[in-house]
A and B are shown apart, each in its own frame.
Chain A
Amino acid sequence: MKPRIILDTTQLNLVINRLCYQLIEDQRNFSETVIIGVQPRGIFLAQRIFRRLKELENKQCAHFGKLDITFHRDDFGSDKILTPNETDLDFSIENKRVVLIDDVLYSGRTIRAALDALLSFGRPKDVELMVLIDRKLHRDLPIKAKYVGKTIDSIVDERVKVEWESEDGKDQVWILPLKAETKNK
């Protein structure tokens, strides 16, 4: 298969706006809401959502944080060690409404680990999951996202790559053969 774009820059920004409006539609109290991105790639969407909420409707979430799940993975030792990324949660999540954000939802194991890691910091009021891409086939665990950017039926031999303007030069989402690099686009 050839690499192909499933969300271009315009579409991706529309999706981000929609996800923000969905949060606003919930009529939540944003001063009680914290946005937490899952390391390493979920933090970029989380940052965008956090900023966009403010720009669109002047909704300021209480905090923005980054959560690393390396030490909570269920495949320690089976593969190679993953070196940890920074966890930055310098606020209490006690009784807060947490919106946990990652870029791609696939097996669900990352989110399982993220929930485990998150609860080490206290007991939030609730936790909701937001993902940009939901690869709805091949879920290993009973995990479902409340806010979804786009649902796709990708197969095992494919992978999804989310690129961000701040990191990769352009906002877009690719679907690639498992081993190909985005360079040969």
Chain B
Amino acid sequence: MSLLSQKHLLGIEHITKEDIKLIFETATEFKEVLQRKIKKVPSLRDITIANLFFENSTRTRISFELAEKRLSADVINFSAASSSTKKGETLIDTVNNILAMKVDMIVMRHPNPGAHLLLSKHIDAQIVNAGDGTHEHPTQALLDAFSMQEQLGDLKGKKIAIFGDIKHSRVALSNIYCLQKLGAKVKVCGPPTLIPKYIESLGVEVSYNAQETLEWCDVANILRIQLERQDIKYIPSLREYNIAFGITKKMLDSLDKKIVVMHPGPMNRGVEIESDVADSEHSIILQQVENGVAIRMAVLYLLAGKGS
């Protein structure tokens, strides 16, 4: 019988290796539940969860909502476009108003890094971070590492490369924390302008050469270029990025081993990843999405059980 060490899931930075393993063990059993004829369990039937998305999302929002419904929780959805935040209400007021309607948990995506941490100091409900700006996206990192573990077994000593816009990616930072806690080696690869200066202080290697990095790694986790977060031009053009860092089938075929290719989505085919790579037998992109529901079920289940 184990419990998570944290009340909230604000980021991977704050949880322990044991927490990650507990989430994985629980997710394995939820994955089995999702194969059943009736893919639903009653565990959270007395829990109400609010999904607050102050930033756009397709996959993550659907994945969380499905996970909540598979656990029999009551779900309410909120998106910033139709909310009172546009009328000048503060985040804490908005959330407290929702909690006044007897909501137990908050799943939130917010453009400001640290928004969840701020909120956790002012409200009672448990908070799950579904992405805070360029900071963390913990459930994505958990499902990525879980998917890698399914392919490779224990990740200790395994070599994971993260390609793309490291500077603006919350997936990259959460992945780094998560993989390092599990004992994997991490290298990031991208244009120098898109790799933050502090990154080496996290114990991560840096490369500016995609082919060399592919030769080094067991897993290539490919991220997109986040143009919407780039206030200035960091790269000359997407076409130029594609020529230098786009992952092609030819590059994979030139390797003397079979590596695993991942992408958290949304994919920009023909920019960071070529179509024949995304659809190849190397790719586990759709398994990632499938595992996402089980991982989120595990996180919600473990947090809800702890909080009551």
Contact = CB atoms under 8 A, between A and B. Distances in A.
B29 A81 contact: no
Contacts of A73: 43
Interface string A39-74: 000000000000000000000000000001011110
B41 A80 contact: no
Interface in A59-111: 68, 70-73, 76-78, 80-87
Contacts of A71: 29-30, 33, 41-43, 301
B37 interface: yes
Interface in B2-54: 2-3, 22, 25-26, 29-30, 32-33, 36-44, 46
Given A83-B22, A120-B38, A78 B308 contact: yes
Interface residues of A, number: 22
B305 A76 contact: yes
B308 A83 contact: no
A128 interface: no
Given A68-B29, A119-B38, A82 B43 contact: no
B305 A77 contact: yes
A76 B72 CA distance: 13
Contact of A81 (B1, B32, B33, B36): B1
B185 to A, nearest CB: 29
A50 B1 CA distance: 29
Contact of B42 (A80, A84, A116): A116
B305 A120 contact: no
Interface of A: 68, 70-73, 76-78, 80-87, 116-117, 119-122
Interface of B: 1-3, 22, 25-26, 29-30, 32-33, 36-44, 46, 301-302, 304-308
27 contacts: A68-B29, A71-B29, A71-B30, A71-B41, A71-B43, A73-B43, A76-B43, A76-B304, A77-B46, A77-B304, A77-B305, A81-B3, A81-B301, A81-B305, A83-B1, A83-B22, A84-B25, A84-B29, A85-B29, A86-B32, A87-B33, A116-B42, A120-B33, A120-B36, A120-B38, A120-B41, A121-B37
